[in-house]
Homo-oligomer: A and B are copies of this chain.
Amino acid sequence: LYKCRPFTICIPSILVLGFVYVAYVLIGGVVFWKLEGDLGMKDVSYLLEKKERLLSTYPCLNQAGLEAVAQVRNKNVGLSLKRNYTADGFWKFTSSAVFAATVVTTIGYGNICPSTTGGQIFCVFFALFGIPLNIVVLNRVGKKRLTCTRFFIHFVCYICGVVLFFIMPMIVFKQQEDWTHAEAIYYCFISLSTIGFGDFVADSNPDKYYPDWYSFLIASWIFFGMAWLALVINHSIEILERLNNYFKKQFKKNDNQ
């Protein structure tokens, strides 16, 4: 299967690729560990100090009470502890539709999730047919945009995309959500790449009032932005594979000489 020169060791390319993959993830792990680790430690000690201060400020509160209060906040149903009155929970029609959209796009912010067994089972089957549908639709939209084939037009497309899907949303999110520039860009990328950590979620702060056009804007931003970013990612895969083929050819040439 693998033609080799004599006295060279043959390594199947999948193994090399696998090694690069594992190394990439481990190096990433080390960087995150170094970047976040120290602050994480500070955070933990800060929180422990705060916990001690709470226990002394409210003398009636014991360990069990602390856990009970934490548990109330722990269940995510869109309940704000600040307001005394309650909105009708998270599961209104509009937010259910947004939830359904995060399922089929596989963003899955998870700031809210189905908690009933029925909801969980429906979620599985809803995603099973919805994810392929979403991929087919995105591919169609992506192909429509593939008409700009020359390098310069490509370049203009990319710049326009960055402005339209990153710079402009960043300004809007900064205004509406009071995030920093870095946080807004981070949110844009984490959403459009469908990673969707859910540490920042637009249009979901129960203590804020949003304008009517806001959620519509977010929906269209996510849809067209995902189509655009899928295109960019497809292109970088293409470039990677072309580079791979180029090096294979070079290798063969050297082999024949």
Contacts and interface: CB of A to CB of B under 8 A. Distances in A.
Nearest to A143: B14
A171 interface: no
B72 A51 contact: yes
Interface residues of A, number: 113
A123 B186 contact: yes
Contact of A100 (B29, B66, B86, B120): B29
Nearest to A32: B96
Interface in A146-200: 180, 182-183, 185-186, 189-190, 193-199
Contact of A31 (B31, B75, B122): B122
A104 B133 CA distance: 23
Contact of A91 (B36, B75, B123): B36
This chain: copies in complex = 2
Contacts of A57: 65
B54 A68 contact: yes
Nearest to A194: B106
Contact of A24 (B14, B17, B130, B193): B130
A36 B88 contact: no
Interface string A123-142: 11011111111111100110
Contacts of A252: none
A169 B67 CA distance: 31
A246 interface: no
Q: Please list the 8 inter-chain residue pairs (A to B) with the smallest Cβ-Cβ separation, ordered nearest first.
A: A29-B97, A110-B197, A28-B100, A70-B73, A33-B96, A108-B195, A40-B89, A60-B60
